[in-house]
Structure 1
Amino acid sequence: MARGTIRYWAAAKDAAGVAEEPFEAATLAELMTNVTAGRDRLSQVIRRSSFLVDGNPVGKRAHDTIVFADGTTVEVLPPFAGG
């Protein structure tokens, strides 16, 4: 179990009600389950979001394969409008 910080951007920040919060989780999949529990709006936003883990894009990798170390920072990036 690692401890880290999750940062929310744009619509994810609005849905979470905070810009960032601490977490304890072993994988990205576990973290997503934990932070969305009882937070339906955040869950909807996160399903459409991309993620950075310590500045590295997760891309299409399975979330249960993204293992955290202590001090990890996860950024939740919802789709941005524009062009």
Structure 2
Amino acid sequence: MTEKAVSEMSFEEAMRELEQVVGQLERGDVPLEDSIALYTRGAELKKRCETKLKEAEEKVAAITLDAEGQPTGLKPVEGL
């Protein structure tokens, strides 16, 4: 089975795999070469999670509220 590209993962998928990677590394029963590969994959997953969170924060920040505090729509956010 091939690994899904990190760039195609949802936040939830990346977080789930990151938790698995961390668990394997914490157990310490992985050969050194595999540990390096896991660490590299973990770094990519962490970056993906950070990117997806930033995107979500920007979308939430773009919501405008009317006088009663109700959302009136989304402002376009550059790059999204």
- Whether the TM-score (by the shorter chain) exceeds 0.5 is no
Q: 1 or 2, which has the higher helix percentage?
A: 2
Q: RCO higher in 1 or 2 (8 Å CA, sep ≥ 6)? A: 1
TM-score range, shorter chain: under 0.3
Q: 1 or 2, which has the higher strand percentage?
A: 1
Structure number with larger C-alpha Rg: 2
